Each structure stands twice: as structure tokens, then as C-alpha cells.
Structure 1
């Protein structure tokens, strides 16, 4: 059975520059929504079956592999076949993740709630996807989360969302970048440049204002930088 597409959430993500082929679910109102929009659920912790879920997903058939983002090995996290989702109030999530993903070595990583829990609570979502990221990337996202919570503390900023009552949301630019372990630090202008760079077709020139940040990541090919280099052109 094919998964549903949440139209309001789709439009919301695409307004931020997320391509239609990169709609990555990150929060859900309940388990039924996860089953309908994300994948098949298996409880992880027998004593807390509602708190931690292993979700088996299938990548969409329409994924555009010509986008530059797929040249970053970390992008496989987006449609990872086995995902861990947890209740917004569950505190044993690290233990649950290790049980569900025993082959993943996360000793040097923190487990990031792809949408911050305060924001998820404000917007009425009870389940959040977990992804492993470095501590520095997770810390850098806190400012974006704080700014978002301050904005959404006023219901007028999410009136349309409240009216639409989406059962899931797809990742926004901040969340897409955090899953790739990119440090964002609340700089919304730079987030927009990253979206323009990563979600464009291979060979598209990068935004000039992003060049400095691109130099700090070893997965960025020299061919995307003004100095040229020995790497394969993206």
C-alpha cells in the first residue's frame, strides 16, 4: 500500500525550497499518522510500547538523484529504511535507539530530535524522529529552535497550520541541514543559501555568500569552490 502525502505539509516544505522529491517526515500527531504517512511500526521497548517505535520506511519512487545533496554521504539519513521515532515526552530514547539500531555506533554522537521538543509540543505533534548528529551541530541548532519557539508562541504565526491540522510535517530547511550535521546557528539567511546549494541540480553554481562555509566541510568538492581543485565536479 502506498503512503499518503500530507498536502499542507508538502506546500510548507516546498515554500522553504525543499524539492518535492525530498519530503522527509519528521513529526506526527500519533501512531496512526506514522503508519499512514511514514511506514510500518514495531514497538522497541516492551514495557513502553507507545514511547519508542522502530519505523520501516520505503524511499519514494520519485526521488531526484540529480540533486547535489545526494553527493553528500550523510544524505542517506533522509530516507533511511529503519528509523527510530519517539514520544515527545519520552526520556529513555538513547537506550531505545541502541536497542533498535545495535549496529550503529553512536558513542560520539548525540541523538537529535529532528524538531525540537518544545516546538513539537507547541504545534501539537506527539512523535518525533531521532537522528544521530555531532554535539556541535546539535548545539548550533538550538538558536534556531529558540527563535522558532518565540515566533510560534504567538498563535497568529501558525494560524494556517492550526486550521489545516496536518497529521505530519516534513522537514524544513533547518531540520534538513541538521540531519546532515551542518552547523546552522540560527542564521536563516545562510540556511537559505545552503538550501539553494544542496537542493539544486548537480553543476549549479553555489551561492557566492556560501563559499566561506563550504570550505569548512571536507565532503564539498573543490570544483564547487573558486580555487578549483582535484575533486570531481559536483
Structure 2
């Protein structure tokens, strides 16, 4: 099954100049949103409902435009990996859940990262988040500065009203999120590495 696109959630990827083949869901309102826009829930990895972890078989993404340099990177396979782990925003046992889902995965020296910051997710009303393994260095480099700014921004009365009125069932990754998922370090306050990564996703003129 081809993955439907949530047309109410396109502002973030469009702002990053991402083609449809780079629309990567990283947050969802609830389990129904996951099953509509992400994939089929195959198994619950924890039984403490509603604080649970889900093993999801992702739907097929939009047709991949292999002219984009990002798709020549081996790390890009994580973006649309067919088997994914999604966890409730308040669930704490996500490392063991991921290891249970992928028993052969080597997680030594890795941390399991919520691609979308949990505090921001709560403010935006997303109950489930995708998790991926990244190195500690990558996790730290994409950390507190931008995320603290994001929390403050979404805590303002204006953004609370906008988020409450939003019809988006999922959140798609922006370029910074994609860089993190590729296990590439961010570049400090100016996010230099993210700016360089724009070349990885620059679209041919025919990709709009």
C-alpha cells in the first residue's frame, strides 16, 4: 500500500524545500493517525496502555527521486525503513522496546532518539513519536539550543492557538530532522551541517 499524504501537515517539509519522496512522518496524534498516514501496527511492544510502544510496518513512500544526492547515501535507508518503532510520548522503556523489535541491532554507543522532541510534541498535541538510533555525539549536537527555542516558541499563546486549531494528523520531518536521522552531527547554533545538507535534497527543476 502506498502511504497517503496528510495535506494538512505539509507546511514543515515544504518550508525545507523537500520533495514528496522526503516526506518522513516523525510524529502522530494517535494510533489511528499512525495507521492512516504511517503504516500498519503489527505489534504492541509494551502492555502498559496507553503508554506503549508500537512495531509498525510502514506503507510505501512516494516514488523516490533518485536524482537527489541524499538517496546515494547508505544512511538514507533509515528514512523510509519498512519496520519502525513508534512510542507514546510519555513512554520511558523505548530502548528495550526497540531492542525487542530489532533483536539483531547493535546499539552499543547509540542512543534511541525521539526525532521530534517530546516537549514540543506535547505542546503540539502529538501523542506518538518515531524513534531511531543515533550516536551520542549526534544526539547532543542536535540538542538543547534549538529544542529549547522550539519549546519556548510553541509555548506562546499565539502558537498554542495555532496548534490547537491544526488539522494535521502527523508531523513530517524538516531538513534538520532528516540530518539527525542520517546520524550526521548538527553544526552548533548556526546548524552549519544542516545548511550544507540542503545540497543533498535540492530538487531538480521538475521536482516541485
User: Normalising by structure 2, what TM-score?
Assistant: 0.88
Cα distance in 1 for residues equivalent to 2:197 and 2:20: 13
**Structure 1 counterpart of 2:26:** 26
Matches within 5 A, 1:60-139: 60-139=61-140
CA separation of 1:161/1:63 partners in 2, compared to 1, >3 Å: closer, same or farther?
A: farther
**Structure 1 counterpart of 2:157:** 155
**Structure 2 counterpart of 1:173:** 175
Cα distance in 1 for residues equivalent to 2:56 and 2:176: 23
Cα deviations by residue, 1:68-119 (Å, 9 ceiling, x for unpaired): 1112111100000100000000011111110011111112210000001111
Question: Deviation of residue 62 (structure 1)?
Answer: 1.6
Aligned length: 202
**Partner-residue secondary structure (3-state), 1:145:** helix
Cα deviations by residue, 1:114-172 (Å, 9 ceiling, x for unpaired): 00111101111010000000001101111221111121111324644432321101001
Cα distance in 2 for residues equivalent to 1:83 and 1:60: 13
What is the RMSD computed on CA atoms of the aligned residues?
A: 2.0
Where do 5+ consecutive residues of structure 2 fail to align? none
**Structure 2 counterpart of 1:44:** 44
CA separation of 1:115/1:39 partners in 2, compared to 1, >3 Å: closer, same or farther?
A: same
Alpha-carbon contact 2:42-2:55 (below 8 Å) kept: yes
CA separation of 1:201/1:2 partners in 2, compared to 1, >3 Å: closer, same or farther?
A: closer
Between structure 1 and structure 2, the one with the greater Rg is 1
CA separation of 1:6/1:191 partners in 2, compared to 1, >3 Å: closer, same or farther?
A: farther
Where do 5+ consecutive residues of structure 1 fail to align? 203-234
**Structure 2 counterpart of 1:199:** 201
CA separation of 1:124/1:133 partners in 2, compared to 1, >3 Å: closer, same or farther?
A: same
Cα deviations by residue, 1:41-87 (Å, 9 ceiling, x for unpaired): 02333533640000101332421111011121111000001000000
Alpha-carbon contact 2:185-2:193 (below 8 Å) kept: no
Runs ≥4 residues deviating over 3 A: 157-162, 185-189
Structure number with higher relative contact order (C-alpha < 8 Å, ≥ 6 residues apart): 2
